Amino acid sequence: MSVEEVSQKLETVSVSDDTPKTVLTDSNNFEVKHPLNSKWTLWYTKPAVDKSESWSDLLRPVTSFETVEEFWAIIQNIPEPHELPLKSDYHVFRGDIRPEWEDTANSKGGKWSFQIRSKGSEIDELWLRTLLAVIGETIDEEESEINGVVLSIRKGGNKFALWTKSENEQALRNIGAKFKQVLKLTEDGHLEFYPHSSANNRNAQPTITL
Partner 1 sequence: MYKYTIDELLQLKPSETLVANFDAVDFRAIIEKVKQLQSLKEEEFAHHGGHGHFNRRRSSHHHAGRPKVKHNKPKVTTDSEGWSTLDNKKDVAEESEVVDGATTTAAGTTSNGNTRSSPVPSATIAQETLKVRPNNKNIGSSRPADTKDIVADKQIHGFNAFAALESDEDDE
What does the buried/exposed string (b/e) look like for 102-117 if buried means 16 or more CB atoms within 10 Å of the residue's CB? ebebbeebbbbbbebe
Distance (Å, rounded) from C-alpha 93 to C-alpha 111?
A: 13
By CB atoms closer than 10 A (0-12, 13-18, 19+), residue 164 is buried
Stretch 97-156 residues interacting with partner 1 (CB under 8 A): 129, 132-133, 135-138, 142
- Out of 182, 183, 191, 210, the only residue in the binding site for partner 1 (CB under 8 A) is 182
Residues binding partner 1: number (CB under 8 A): 40
Q: What does the per-residue mask of binding to partner 1 show for 2-21, with x meaning CB under 8 A?
A: --------------------
Nearer to partner 1, 74 or 208 (CB): 74
Q: How far is the CB of 63 from partner 1 (least distance, A)?
A: 4
- Indicate if the alpha-carbon torsion angle 95, 103, 107, 110 is positive or negative: positive
Residue choice 59, 68, 199, 208 for contact with partner 1 (CB under 8 A): 68
Residue 185 is a binding residue for partner 1 (CB under 8 A)? no
Decide: is 207 part of the binding site for partner 1 (CB under 8 A): no
> How far apart (Å, rounded) are the C-alpha atoms in residues 207 and 35?
35
Cβ-defined contacts of 133-138 (< 8 Å, 24+):
133/178, 133/179, 133/182, 134/92, 134/162, 135/36, 135/38, 135/40, 135/68, 135/71, 135/92, 136/36, 137/36, 137/37, 137/38, 138/178
Our finding on whether 84 is near partner 1 (CB under 8 A) is yes
Residue 76 binds to partner 1 (criterion: CB under 8 A): yes
Say whether residue 56 binds partner 1 (CB under 8 A): no
| Least distance in angstroms from the C-beta of 97 to partner 1 | 18
- Confirm if 128 and 170 have CB atoms less than 8 A apart: no
Decide if residue 193 touches partner 1 (CB under 8 A). Answer: no
Half-sphere exposure of 25 (CA within 13 A, CB side): 9
Considering beta carbons, is residue 41 or 106 the nearer one to partner 1? 41
Q: Which residues bind partner 1 (CB under 8 A)?
A: 23-24, 27-28, 34-37, 44, 46-47, 49, 62-63, 65, 68-74, 76-79, 83-86, 88, 129, 132-133, 135-138, 142, 182
